[in-house]
Every structure is written in structure tokens, then in C-alpha cells.
């Protein structure tokens, strides 16, 4: 009776268990039973009557085989059946979970490919175990390391569930692959309608597990709060005056930006794990020591003067930023994201830089821009949102040569380099 029931389930498995949603699935294999040297009668009947290999590369082929002793899966039948995929001829060792208490077990071997590099792929194994009460349990090797001992508890389908998406992560194929599993348990069976404490516990754990699923195209909202510090300097030389004996005079202003509060909001377009977007941010900085050093020659003497509290550096600004970044999946929950950006900014400070200078610095500090580079670590909250922490370096530039009189042409130089750290959230607003 149990063999007949498993046979019916396997027929359903062959007819429509998996479809790839985000990345292509190249091929699959069924291994049955676990650890045995012979096929069971159900497996033999399945092989003889139900197995119908497909040569279509877009289909999901299935091959019935058996495990070698020592818990290895031989990929030779699969590789021979589908030579165009160039599947390696190997004996794949698999670290199995504890299968005691199960009447039988089905292992499905999939060949997963990156659509950008369809000539290569990786192999993934899934186990479907049948209890003595005919209940089906699914073991997923979600990190694709051929080890079922580090993937947490297996899952059961809810009685009302017809299908479930399962994420497989492997950086060799560019990140995540989504497989669509169909519930093989008939809905009208007493077992499917029965709620056990163990099943409820498994369902609760599964409902809490959320996976961020990048689509082909999406619109992303990004909000963040960051703070940066760094050193600023501005240097220029003035022209020699004919009625003065002072020559080669130069001014060097310096300041310390202790901290800033930078609040940003932005939108980005995403293509899978790649983002490009824009943001606006208001930044308020705390500026500390502001000094000036004057050097010049007078007669045969060299004069070097150091003056405190000289120069009033701008401390408020609004940033307009274009950025791009790319998510590199580390595991189910974490992403490593390198990023670069380009910024144009408006100075909001209306305070003279020098005692006798103009107050509206935005009218005299021209060619204001900055570029940044760094990275984020993102943590998956739900299938549509992630939290992140970020660390990046920003280099700021402007030309203030029109603000000071008698500047020697080409002598103006400035530098403001800051290191920022921050936190934020991104939410996928919609799929495009």
C-alpha cells in the first residue's frame, strides 16, 4: 500500500515538480532508494513505465538511478543522457541527514545554470522522505554544499498549500536560484488535513524565514542615516605687489570636520542584483579647529606665521547623488555590496569665510562635486526589504579662487576627505 502511494507521488514528481523562476534549471535526477543496492519494486515500475527522458534543453529531465555505497551519487547517467550540458562525470559525495524512521527517500539531483553563462552549472540535491504514516518531508540543501547537516530543519507542506518557492544559493551561478516545488500530498487525505504539534512548529519556523528575491527589474526605495569626519585644507598663492617687499606669499587654511549628520532618501532601479539610482541628502557638520598659515619672503628673511581661528568653513549643504552598487550574496541573509557614487552639492551656509569676505559662499565656491567609494553589508528582513550598514570614503572638491583677491592663477588647491559610517533600509516598491 505504501509503495503504491509513493509511486503515485513520484508520478506527480516527474510530471511537474519544479520550474525555475529567477534563473534557469538545466536538468534533474531522481535517486531511489537511499543506500540501497537494488531498486525497489516501485522504483523498477517507475523506471519501466513512467520514465520518459526529454532531449529538450528547456525541459527538466529526470533520470532514475541508485546511490553507490558510501553515500555517493554517480552523475554518469545524467551526463550521458544530456551531453550538450557538459555535466561532469563524477561521484558526488553527499552528507545525508538522519533518515531513521522514514519508510523511503527520494533524492532529486538538479543541474542549475546561470542564464548569463549557460555553458556551465552546478549540481544541487534535494531529498523527499516518506514517513511510515505516508507524510512527506522535504530536505533542501539551500547553500548547495552537498551537506544536509547545516541547513536547519526540513519542512512540511501546509495542508492547503499547493506549491512553495525554495531558494538555492551558490555564488558560482551568480547568487540565488528559485525552484517551485509542488505539494505531492493529496489534499483530501486524512494526513493532509491533520494538524500535529510537530507540523505546526515546522510551519511557524518556515513562516518566519524570509528571503529577499531580486526580480529582473524593480524600483527600490533607499533611506539612510550616516556620519562622517575628516580633514579639510585650502591653499593658494597671491601675486607679488609692486609696492611691497613681501614676495611669494601663500595662504594655507586647515580645518577638522569632527562629525556630520547626513540624512538621505533615494530611489534606484534594479536589475537582479545590480542597482543604479539617485538620492538627495541634507548634511549638517560640526567643524572644529580652523587655522591659517601664512608664508612669505621679506628681504632675505623667510616668514612663517600660524594663526588660530582663521577661516569659517561651510557646515551645511544639500547633496544630489548618483550611485551604483551590486549585491554579492554571502548566504541566505547577508549581502556584500560594493558601491560608488558621484555628488553635486549646494552650500547652505551664509557666513563669510574671511572677516571681510562675502557671506553667500555658494556664489563664490564653484565647481562643487564629490565622489565616494565603499561598501555595504545588507541583512535580509523580508522578501522585499533589507537593512544595511555602510562604510565609505568621500572626497570633496570646489574652486574658491574667485573668493580671494589677487590669487596667482593656477595656484588654488583644496582637499576635504571624509570617512563615513551609517545605517539604512531598502524596500522594493514594485517590480517593473
Residue among 109, 117, 36 at smallest CA distance from 70: 36
User: Strand, helix or coil at 339?
Assistant: strand
- Nine-digit cell at 275? 542597482
* Distance spanning both ends of the chain, measured CA to CA: 49
Q: What is the pLDDT of residue 228?
A: 96
Q: What is the pLDDT of residue 431?
A: 86
Rounded Cα distance between 221 and 267, Å, is 5
Residue among 287, 292, 293 at smallest CA distance from 310: 292
Strand 218-237 relative to strand 328-329: parallel, antiparallel, unpaired? unpaired
Strand 274-298 relative to strand 316-326: parallel, antiparallel, unpaired? antiparallel
Q: Please report, in tens digits, the pLDDT of each residue of the chain (432 residues total).
A: 545 555 455 545 544 443 333 333 333 333 333 333 333 444 334 333 333 333 333 444 556 666 555 577 777 777 787 787 778 888 888 888 887 777 777 777 777 776 666 667 787 777 778 887 778 888 888 888 888 888 878 888 887 787 888 888 888 877 777 777 777 665 444 433 444 455 445 544 444 445 666 667 899 999 999 999 999 999 999 999 888 888 999 999 999 999 999 999 999 999 989 999 999 999 999 999 999 999 999 888 999 999 998 999 999 999 999 999 999 999 989 999 999 999 999 999 888 898 878 888 999 999 999 999 999 999 999 989 999 999 999 999 999 999 998 899 999 999 999 999 999 999 999 987
User: Are the C-beta atoms of residues 56 and 129 closer than 8 Å to each other?
Assistant: no
User: Are the C-beta atoms of residues 388 and 336 closer than 8 Å to each other?
Assistant: no
Q: What is the pLDDT of residue 128?
A: 79
Q: What is the pLDDT of residue 192?
A: 39
What size, in residues, is the chain?
432
Residues whose CB is less than 8 angstroms from the CB of residue 59 and which lie 6 or more positions away in sequence, other chains included: none
Q: What is the pLDDT of residue 204?
A: 47
User: Are the C-beta atoms of residues 137 and 58 closer than 8 Å to each other?
Assistant: no
In order, the DSSP letters of 135-155 are: -EEEEE-TT-SSBGGGS---B
Q: What is the pLDDT of residue 27?
A: 33
Question: CB count, 10 Å around CB of 89?
Answer: 11
Amino acid at each position: 500500500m505504501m509503495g503504491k502511494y509513493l509511486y503515485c507521488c513520484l508520478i506527480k514528481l516527474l510530471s511537474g515538480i519544479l520550474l525555475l523562476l529567477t534563473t534557469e534549471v538545466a536538468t534533474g535526477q531522481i535517486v531511489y532508494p537511499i543506500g540501497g543496492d537494488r531498486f525497489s519494486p516501485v522504483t523498477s515500475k517507475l523506471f519501466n513505465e513512467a520514465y520518459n527522458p526529454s532531449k529538450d534543453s528547456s525541459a527538466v529531465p529526470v533520470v532514475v538511478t541508485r546511490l553507490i555505497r558510501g553515500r555517493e551519487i554517480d552523475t554518469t547517467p545524467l551526463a550521458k543522457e544530456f551531453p550538450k550540458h557538459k555535466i561532469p562525470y563524477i561521484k558526488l559525495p553527499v552528507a545525508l541527514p538522519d533518515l531513521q524512521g522514514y519508510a523511503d527517500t527520494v533524492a532529486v539531483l538538479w543541474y542549475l545554470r546561470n542564464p548569463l553563462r549557460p555553458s556551465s552549472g552546478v549540481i544541487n540535491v534535494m531529498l523527499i522522505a516518506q514517513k511510515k504514516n505516508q507524510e512527506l518531508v522535504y530536505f533542501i540543501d539551500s547553500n548547495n554544499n552537498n551537506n544536509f547537516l547545516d541547513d536547519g530543519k526540513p519542512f512540511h507542506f501546509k495542508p492547503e498549500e499547493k506549491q512553495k518557492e525554495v531558494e538555492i544559493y551558490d555564488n558560482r551561478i551568480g547568487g540565488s536560484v528559485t525552484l517551485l516545488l509542488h505539494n505531492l500530498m493529496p489534499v483530501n487525505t486524512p494526513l493532509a488535513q491533520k494538524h500535529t504539534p510537530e507540523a505546526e512548529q515546522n510551519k511557524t519556523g518556515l513562516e518566519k524565514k524570509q528571503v529577499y528575491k531580486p526580480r529582473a527589474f524593480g524600483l527600490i526605495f533607499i533611506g539612510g542615516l550616516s556620519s562622517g569626519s575628516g580633514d579639510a585644507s585650502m591653499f593658494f598663492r597671491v601675486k607679488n605687489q609692486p609696492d611691497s617687499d613681501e614676495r611669494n606669499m601663500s595662504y594655507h587654511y586647515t580645518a577638522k570636520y569632527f562629525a556630520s549628520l547626513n540624512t538621505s532618501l533615494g530611489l534606484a532601479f534594479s536589475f537582479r542584483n545590480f542597482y543604479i539610482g539617485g538620492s538627495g541628502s541634507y548634511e549638517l557638520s560640526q567643524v572644529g579647529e580652523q587655522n591659517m598659515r601664512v608664508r612669505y619672503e621679506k628681504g632675505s628673511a623667510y616668514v612663517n606665521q600660524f594663526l588660530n581661528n582663521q577661516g569659517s568653513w561651510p557646515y551645511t549643504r544639500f547633496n544630489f547623488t548618483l550611485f551604483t552598487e551590486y549585491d554579492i550574496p554571502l548566504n541566505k541573509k547577508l549581502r556584500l555590496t560594493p558601491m560608488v557614487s558621484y555628488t553635486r552639492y549646494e552650500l547652505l551656509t551664509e557666513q563669510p569665510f574671511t572677516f571681510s569676505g562675502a557671506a553667500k559662499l555658494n556664489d563664490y565656491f564653484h565647481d562643487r562635486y564629490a565622489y565616494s567609494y565603499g561598501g555595504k553589508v545588507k541583512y535580509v528582513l523580508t522578501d522585499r526589504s533589507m537593512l544595511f550598514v555602510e562604510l565609505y570614503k568621500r572626497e570633496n572638491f570646489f574652486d574658491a579662487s574667485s573668493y580671494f583677491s589677487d590669487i596667482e592663477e593656477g595656484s588654488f588647491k583644496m582637499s576635504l576627505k571624509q570617512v563615513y559610517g551609517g545605517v539604512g533600509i531598502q524596500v522594493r516598491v514594485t517590480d517593473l
